[in-house]
Amino acid sequence: MISRLEYEGIVRAALREDAPFGDPFGSSFSGPARGIFLAGGRGVFCGGMVAAEVFRQVDPQVSVTFVPEGSRVSRGETVGEAGGAASSLLRGERVALNFLQRLSGVASTTAAYVERVSPFGTRILDTRKTTPLLRVLEKYAVRTGGGDSHRFSLSDGVLIKENAIRAAGGIPVAVTAARKMAHHLARVEVEVESLEAAEEAVAAGADALLLDNMSPETVREAVQRFGNKVLLEASGGIHLGNVAEYAKTGVPAISIGALTHSSPALDISFEIEP
229 contacts: CB under 8 Å, gap ≥ 6: 202
Cα 102 to chain centroid distance, Å, stands at: 10
The pLDDT value given to residue 30: 81
Give the right CATH number for 115-261 from 3.40.50.2300, 3.60.10.10, 3.20.20.70, 3.30.70.380: 3.20.20.70
* H-type alpha helices, 45-194: 48-58, 86-117, 135-144, 162-168, 171-181
94 given a catalytic annotation: yes
Catalytic residue among 94, 123, 128, 248: 94
The pLDDT value given to residue 25: 83
Q: Percent of the chain, pLDDT > 90? A: 90
Torsion sign across C-alpha atoms 132, 106, 148, 67: positive
Listed residue (51, 39, 46) closest to 7, CA to CA:
51
* 4-111+263-272 placed in CATH 3.40.50.300: no
Average pLDDT value for residue range 115-127: 98
161 given a catalytic annotation: yes
Catalytic residue among 69, 191, 207, 233: 191
The pTM assigned to this predicted structure is: 0.95
69 given a catalytic annotation: no
pLDDT of 62 higher than 80:
yes
Average pLDDT value for residue range 3-25: 94
Helix (H, G, I), strand (E, B) or coil at 109: helix
What residues form DSSP beta bridges with 171? none
Rounded to 10 deg, the angle between the 48-58 and 8-18 helix axes is: 60
Catalytic residue among 123, 129, 135, 187: 129
What residues form DSSP beta bridges with 188? 158
pLDDT of 258 higher than 90:
yes
Average pLDDT value for residue range 116-138: 97
Catalytic residue among 143, 212, 220, 233: 212
Average pLDDT value for residue range 215-238: 98
Average pLDDT value for residue range 13-22: 95
Cα 153 to chain centroid distance, Å, stands at: 13
18 given a catalytic annotation: no
Q: Domain residues of the chain, as ranges?
A: 4-111+263-272, 115-261
129 given a catalytic annotation: yes
